[in-house]
Amino acid sequence: MSTTQSDLSSRGLADRLLNSLVPSLSGLHIVAFLIALLLLGLLVTPVAQVIFVAFQDTATGAATLQNFADFFATSLFRESFWNSFYVSAMSVVVATIIALPLAYITTRFHFSGSILIQSLGFIPLIMPPFVGAVAMQLIFGRNGTINLLLRDYFGFTIPFMDGLNGVILVESIHYFPFILINLSASLRNIDRSMEEAAQNLGSYGLRLFRRIVFPLAMPGYIAGAALVFIKVFDDLGTPLLLNVNNMLAPQAFLRISSIGISDPMGYVISCILVVFSVLSLWASFLVMRGKEYATVQKGGGGTAKRELKLSEKVLAYGVVIFILLVVLSPHIGLLLLSFGTIWSFAPLPDAYTFQNYITMWEGSKTFILNTVLYAGIAASLDVIIGTAIAYIVIRTGIFGRKWLDYLATAALAVPGVVLGIGYLRTFHSVDVPFTGEPLASWWVIIALALMIRRLPYALRACTAALQQVSLALEEAAESLGATKRRTIQKIVLPLMTGGILAGFVTSFATAAVELSATIMLVSSNSDAPLAYGIYLFMQTPSGRGAGAALGIVAVIVVAIGTVASQFIIERDKKLKASNDVH
């Protein structure tokens, strides 16, 4: 008796062991494995390498905290650390001052043009911040339009763009949409009865906003603010272009590019950047999770919009127009600069010409072609991997599938500079097959870095697209005899097309203007993409016009991308909606 039983159980155990060791390997298992390998190689290893080097003694290779001690013992680094922190915090403050009135006015009142304002609010995001920086210099700088006028008429100037102020202004104007988007969404989600209850008890106006409305919108605000903080903290292009080098990201770049990849300080700074990234993402995650007040309750309505009195309307339009002018000033400035002949010590350019665009086209064909190539490769890989991960996570039970998602998303927390440094360090000793040049200076590595940087966004788009494809549609195909593979080919992918395309366009457009990772990896001008080209142009006063023209091209590329992806998403929604009518 007992032997039979133990026989049975041992056979069961063996079976189970066999099953778990050699699971019924489907194609999807292999795909999951390959993606894991790719993420491990292109994301985990470089970042781990950076952290590892930061804690390693340069001479002996032993584990040490000495590098960090050296870092904090150097006054330049202490100053850079403080400056980065100060600039990020102040950018959040200024971005809040810009975003708060726009969000409040457009969500709480009947205000014609609300949609226009909300979409204009997105415009800064479609231009890399460093591109606008030069234009801002010309408008707000010491000898810029505003200060020249102020000096002529009032006899004083305001140092908008001096040193850290400039970085703060450029960054806050660029990144405030993150706060605007999140805050507007939170404000819209506050149940009408929350406000009505307060009014019923005697509260109104600013007090009502301060005590009830704003605290309830707090989670959305914090999420947006954390994003702004970290984006500014990590940004390399803007301080470099404004020639503000005593901040962390520029220091990391300068150490690596001037002293070399064996200097530990670049790695220490990278470590600090990563820690701050992770901390602020984690903080915003905690806030969103713990305090997401689902205030839209049963029996209540959405936000109640109020009519404005005439005087209030005048004030509101005044505020909105002023803010929009400030926010759009980089674009206006860039446009003027790109069509201007000479613009120096004058409120406006001396004369207007198309010459800049011609110069730009002659001097930057390579940049543009490179950009199309890199961003195209990156975005294609992004949506392929994104779709695969989305399918594996949502539709299969493959062991560890969630980790694919986490890993791909973790790229969000890795600043571009850090990834760039990681790639340099990891791949400089690896040679490209056949050509024999180091992998780190091969152009493909730029495309791969862009791919990793944009993967989280593409993954979100693909996940959303797949979630809209009802499981029943797949089951219907399978019950009619289609294999898993045929089902994915014939049913799932066609239905996901819209979302995938939107993901592609977003990835492409934003990869096209990425600077912080690419600037580390570009080894020769012939390999450089558009963003790097703008950076090169902007280095010399004579190249600024052409740089601005190239900047305008970048803005148009991203704008077309954004509009196209919105269009695709909307069209897709309509298509699905018409199918959904039961």
Q: Which residues bind other proteins (CB under 8 A)?
A: 191, 193-194, 196-204, 207, 211-212, 215-216, 218, 291, 293, 295, 297-300
Long-range contacts of residues 491-496, Cβ cutoff 8 Å, at least 24 apart: 492/391, 492/466, 493/387, 495/465, 495/468, 495/469, 496/387, 496/462, 496/465, 496/466, 496/469
Least distance to other proteins, CB of residue 182, Å: 17
Q: Copy the structure tokens of residue 425.
A: 């360090």
State the DSSP string of 525-541.
GGG--HHHHHHHHHTSG
The residue (of 65 and 197) whose beta carbon lies closer to other proteins is: 197
Which H or E element spans position 66?
helix 66-73
Least distance to other proteins, CB of residue 185, Å: 17
The residue (of 225 and 501) whose beta carbon lies closer to other proteins is: 225
Q: Copy the structure tokens of residue 138.
A: 């010309």
DSSP code for 201: T
The candidate with the shortest Cα–Cα distance to 221, out of 100, 117, 121, is: 100
The residue (of 196 and 475) whose beta carbon lies closer to other proteins is: 196
The residue (of 212 and 482) whose beta carbon lies closer to other proteins is: 212
Strand partners, 109: 306
As a whole number of angstroms, the distance between CA 493 and CA 539 comes to 46
Least distance to other proteins, CB of residue 534, Å: 45
As a whole number of angstroms, the distance between CA 442 and CA 446 comes to 8
The residue (of 198 and 439) whose beta carbon lies closer to other proteins is: 198
Least distance to other proteins, CB of residue 299, Å: 4
As a whole number of angstroms, the distance between CA 292 and CA 282 comes to 15
Least distance to other proteins, CB of residue 208, Å: 8
Radius of gyration of the chain (CA): 27
Least distance to other proteins, CB of residue 211, Å: 8
Least distance to other proteins, CB of residue 202, Å: 4
Least distance to other proteins, CB of residue 100, Å: 18
As a whole number of angstroms, the distance between CA 269 and CA 515 comes to 18
State the DSSP string of 139-176.
HHSTTSHHHHHHHHHHS----TTSTHHHHHHHHHHHHH
The residue (of 163 and 300) whose beta carbon lies closer to other proteins is: 300
The residue (of 164 and 208) whose beta carbon lies closer to other proteins is: 208
The residue (of 218 and 493) whose beta carbon lies closer to other proteins is: 218
State the DSSP string of 4-22.
HHHHHHHHHHHHHHHHHHS
The residue (of 289 and 298) whose beta carbon lies closer to other proteins is: 298
As a whole number of angstroms, the distance between CA 136 and CA 326 comes to 10
The residue (of 210 and 365) whose beta carbon lies closer to other proteins is: 210
Reported residue count of the chain is 582
Least distance to other proteins, CB of residue 209, Å: 13
The candidate with the shortest Cα–Cα distance to 145, out of 3, 343, 410, is: 343
Least distance to other proteins, CB of residue 205, Å: 9
Least distance to other proteins, CB of residue 96, Å: 19
As a whole number of angstroms, the distance between CA 559 and CA 553 comes to 10
The residue (of 100 and 360) whose beta carbon lies closer to other proteins is: 100
As a whole number of angstroms, the distance between CA 349 and CA 342 comes to 6
As a whole number of angstroms, the distance between CA 292 and CA 295 comes to 8
Alpha helices in 255-354 (DSSP H): 264-291, 310-339
Least distance to other proteins, CB of residue 224, Å: 18
Strand partners, 306: 109
The residue (of 290 and 433) whose beta carbon lies closer to other proteins is: 290
| Beta-carbon contacts of residue 253 (< 8 Å; ≥ 6 apart) | 236, 240, 266, 417, 519, 520
